[in-house]
Structures are given as structure tokens and as C-alpha cells.
Amino acid sequence: MLRYLTAGESHGKALVVIIDGVPAGLKFDENFINAELVRRMSGYGRGKRMSIEHDKVEVLSGLRNGKTIASPLTLMIVNKDYKINQLPDVYCPRPGHADLAGLLKYGFDDARDVLERASARETAARVAAGAFSKLLLKEFGIKIASHVISIGNVHADLGTRTLETIIKQAELSPVRSADPKASKRMQNVIDDAARRGDTLGGTFEVVALGVPAGLGSYTQWDRKLDGNLARAVMSIQAIKAVSIGAGFESAGKKGSDCHDQIFYDKKKNIFVRDSNNAGGIEGGVTNGSPISVTGCMKPIATLMKPLVSVDIRNKKEAKASTERSDVTAVPAAGVVAESMVALEIAREFLFKFGGDSMKEIRRNYDGYMRELRRR
């Protein structure tokens, strides 16, 4: 079973992720991991921290001669901005952040002890783990990507283009939106928010292509893949809602308009759909259609014009503390969500086809796919 654990603080020495359940014989591509880390740091609206850090992964264990050896894989990302012990104490918790909740939970007198771990900087370790999962899934033709649907009150017009086209166009956009006109408007509202010392949220979609039918299970609540995907994406800092496929739009549809009709392609010997409102998952199990996960990110909690708070030392009204921050991080959140989706799909993939080595997994996968085409 694939599992992982992250460690590290925003301004600590490093971020670390340990990945367990790694099969032997997977070729490790360090350049790909580093490219994914760069993607997480890019996007219109990011702050000055992105110009300080130049994230690169260092492998501490789990490899020999560039391939996995089945032992836990340990990846480290060193923080250049390492100054956790020199940073000032934080006494005025920021509304919308974990500051006050963490102070109350752990009995701290300084919110610095909360925000250093609660920071979205932690997601760099998740992206490293997710990139590894992408390497695994790529061996079986599975691709995962994301694009921005909205930032602030600006929404992209995606029309009827295919998911593949949307992803390709999003890769060329400064905010990773597939709609060039909306992309420009998004940049404008980001610039306006920056001038006002404000922040913006938005929505993004993660799409997984090439996922075979049969991952996940309807037999127990914690085996339902859509539930695990929602939990994984919801765990990302500042994400406040997650939907699968048509999501909230399904509530306003009639059943005849919502459910994806089933057809059979005799040439390819596979079952197909003419729509994908289910987002590729029915009853907690993948049905062979592309997986679609949408995430809603709230505006970042650190404002340059801070909101009203309370000084925890004297309980008097005060302005919330400020930290170096982004205006928006919706494009980056999409990249992080890709990693979380990749990790969950890889976990279920290994659960179904798992073996001790890539050769064994390949044999199990190929046998299953042949069986599907006989039905």
C-alpha cells in the first residue's frame, strides 16, 4: 500500500517526504520532480518567497543506480530562507488562518509555532511525492494535469473543447487558464487586488486521463475513490470545497440530463459514454472516463491591509499580523491538487495491480486490461 508522510516548517531547514510501499524497478527522473516543483512556484500572483526559493529535490534513500529498490523513498527539499529561530513572535492571529485555532489547541503563546507548519510551503513536499506518483502512473499511460476555471469574479469560457485541448492551452497561460481572454482579465483583477493589498481565491479543475475502469470500491466507505480524492484535495491549505464531475451543478439537473448514458464501441471493444457528469467515477469506482476533480480555493488569509484581530497577550483589538504572501495562488493550488490526485490514484492502482516490482505490476495490469476487452 502506497503511503507517505511529510515533515518540515516553512522557514525550517528543509521539507522532507517519506514514501512507503514503493515497487522495485521504477526509473526515477529527478529532472521531472524538479520541473513539477517549479510549476508549483509559478503562476501569476505569486509573492516574493518564490524568488528566494529555488526548489530542488535531494534523494536520501530508496534508489540505487537511478531505480527504486522497494525500500522507503526519502526526498528532501532544502529551504534557502531558513531563519525559523530569528523570526519575530506572532501575537495577533490572522482571520482565516490556522493561527488562533492552533494556539487554542496546543496551548502556544506565539502563533509562529502554528503558522510555520500550517503554511502552504508544506505542499512542496506533497508535490515531490505526487511527482513520483505521476512517474509511476505514466508507465501505464495515465496523465494528470490541471487548469484554472476562475480567479475572483473572472470565469473562463471552456466551451465544448476536449479536455486534452483545455490542458494544452492552459499550459501556455500565465495563470494556466485555457481561455486566453479570461486569462488576461484574471491578470487584471490580480493586479488590482495587489494594489489594494487584498487577495483573491478561485477554482481549478484537475483531470486524469487514461485511468482504467475498476479502481476504488463500493464495498466500504473508505474505499470509495471519489471520497478519497475529495478528502485529499480538501486537505490542501485554503481549499474550501471539492466536487467530482458536474458536482454542484448536478443538483439542478434532471436525472435524464445528469447521468452518462452507456454505449459499446465494437471497434475498440470497450464501454463508452457520450458525457462525463460523473467525473469518471460511479459508486466510488472508476468507469474508464476521464476523472474530473474541481477545487475551490478561498482568498489567501494574509492581507497586506490586515483585518481586525485580537492581541492574545492583552485581549485588546489589534490589526492581524502580516507575513510575506501571494495575491493569489490558484494556479499553484491546481498543481498541488494534481499531486494529491496522483497520489490517490497511484494508491488505488497499486492496491488493484500491486506487486513487489514494476514487472509484476505490468503483468497484472496487462492481464486485467485484456480481460476487460473480452467483456
Q: Which CATH architecture has domain 3-374?
A: 4-Layer Sandwich (3.60)
Which letter does DSSP use for residue 160 in this model? T
> What does pTM read for this prediction?
0.95
Q: Classify 191 as helix, strand or coil.
A: helix
Q: What is the pLDDT of residue 50?
A: 59
Q: What is the pLDDT of residue 169?
A: 87
Distance CA 303, CA 198 (A): 6
Q: What is the pLDDT of residue 54?
A: 85
Q: What is the pLDDT of residue 249?
A: 94
Average pLDDT over residues 242-266: 95
End-to-end CA distance of the chain: 29
Q: What is the pLDDT of residue 48?
A: 65
For residue 369, what pLDDT band results from cuts at 50, 70 and 90?
A: very high
Average pLDDT over residues 148-153: 96
Q: What is the pLDDT of residue 51?
A: 61
8 A C-beta contact, residue 242 and residue 230:
yes
Q: What is the pLDDT of residue 46?
A: 82
For residue 255, what pLDDT band results from cuts at 50, 70 and 90?
A: very high
pLDDT digits (tens, 9 = 90+) for 151-207: 999 999 988 777 788 888 888 888 999 999 999 999 999 999 999 999 999 999 999
Q: What is the pLDDT of residue 343?
A: 98
Domain residue ranges of the chain, discontinuous segments joined by +: 3-374
Distance CA 161, CA 170 (A): 12
User: Half-sphere exposure (CA, 13 Å, Cβ side) for 57?
Assistant: 29
CA nearest neighbour of 303 among 285, 288, 325, 287: 325
8 A C-beta contact, residue 320 and residue 308:
yes
Q: What is the pLDDT of residue 211?
A: 98
pLDDT digits (tens, 9 = 90+) for 267-307: 888 899 999 999 999 999 999 999 999 999 999 998 888 99
Q: For residue 85, give the H/E element and its range.
A: none
8 A C-beta contact, residue 336 and residue 329:
no
Query: Which one has a higher pLDDT value, 222 or 53?
Result: 222
For residue 33, how far is the Cα from the chain centroid? 15
Q: What is the pLDDT of residue 162?
A: 79
Among 85-94, 165-174, 332-341, which is the least confidently predicted range? 165-174
Among 41-45, 50-54, 330-334, which is the least confidently predicted range? 50-54
